[in-house]
Amino acid sequence: MKLTETTADMQGMITSVAGDDHFMNRITSIGITEGTPFQTVRNDKKMPVLIYLRETLISLNRADAEMSSVIKPAEALAFMFATTFNIPCLMALSTTYKESHSLKWTVKVAVFYVCNALILSCIVYHIASLF
């Protein structure tokens, strides 16, 4: 998600900033770096994006705001759940195969882990989006 896609009062974290050297020098000098939490104050179409970060109110033109990626807390939490409850490791699957002597059962176990992780992360995302 780009900074231009955020809505007013949305909180998030800067995940990446990309651009040429001049842009990077300018944007990092005002405090916009990866991992910085922010809150969007105002984001009207064809107007600069107004964000609050590091106890400072910053206005970014839309072209600069397009170069910064952000992640919402709900997305981060859903990602943590998806990775935590996914297939533990390749060794666990190989052990399942060795114990059961069945490729069919091993595939079912792998699909079970992946589906449960995706369903759980989807539920977590929707619940976290309410807050």
Has residue 68 got a pLDDT over 90?
A: no
The whole-number pLDDT of residue 98 equals 94
Percent of the chain with pLDDT over 70: 100
- The DSSP result for the chain, as a single string, is -BGGG--TT-EEEEEEE---HHHHHHHHHTT--TT-EEEEEE--TTS-EEEEETTEEEEE-HHHHHTEEEE-HHHHHHHHHHHHTS---HHHHHHHHHHH--HHHHHHHHHHHHHHHHHHHHHHHHHHHT-
Q: Which of 60-64, 91-95, 127-131 has the weakest average pLDDT? A: 60-64
Where b means 16+ CB within 10 Å and e means fewer, 10-21 reads: bebbbeebeeee
Average of per-residue pLDDT across 63-82: 86
pTM above 0.85, yes or no: no
pLDDT in tens, 92-116: 889 999 999 999 999 999 999 999 9
The whole-number pLDDT of residue 117 equals 93
- The CATH architecture that domain 3-71 belongs to is Roll (2.30)
